[in-house]
Amino acid sequence: MKSPSNPDLELRGKLIRSLGSLREMLPGSFVERKRSCGQPNCRCSDGKNLHSQFQISVLVDGKPKALSIPAGLAEKVREKIEMRRRFDSAAATICRLNLKRFLEEKEAR
Ligand SMILES: [Zn+2]
């Protein structure tokens, strides 16, 4: 049974429950590149108003890949990649709490 007054267990439970909302997470990092399209009359021809090109930089079967993201999906993908960061952070905190509990249990023997 969990003791409701233990702040470590409360934090661990809260983190575990938050993981479900991260189920759409994606690996890799979100990359935004600026480029010109090469058309002389385009707004990008001044070299300042460049086009944004979005990519996921990710390892696929151990090999680095840059996967292009359609502009309409860029925000969604950015959020999903951010989810992975939060997932890793939650996992690290849970492991830290559990290690502390292990050491306490060991001491008590
Ligand atoms: Zn252009």
pTM attached to this predicted model:
0.81
Q: How many A from CA of 65 to the centre of ligand 1?
A: 25
Residue 75 Cα to ligand 1 midpoint, Å, equals: 21
Listing DSSP states for the chain in one string gives: ---TT-HHHHHHHHHHHHGGGGTT---SEEEEEEE----TTSGGGGSSSPEEEEEEEEEETTEEEEEEE-GGGHHHHHHHHHHHHHHHHHHHHHHHHHHHHHHHHHHT-
CA–centroid distance, 73 to ligand 1, in Å, is 20
Q: What is the pLDDT of residue 63?
A: 98
Q: What is the pLDDT of residue 44?
A: 94
Task: Quote the ligand 1 centre to 10 CA distance (angstroms).
Answer: 53
pLDDT tens, per residue, the chain with 109 residues: 555 589 999 999 999 999 999 999 999 999 999 999 999 999 999 999 999 999 999 999 999 999 999 999 999 999 999 999 999 999 999 999 999 999 999 999 8
Q: What is the pLDDT of residue 4?
A: 59
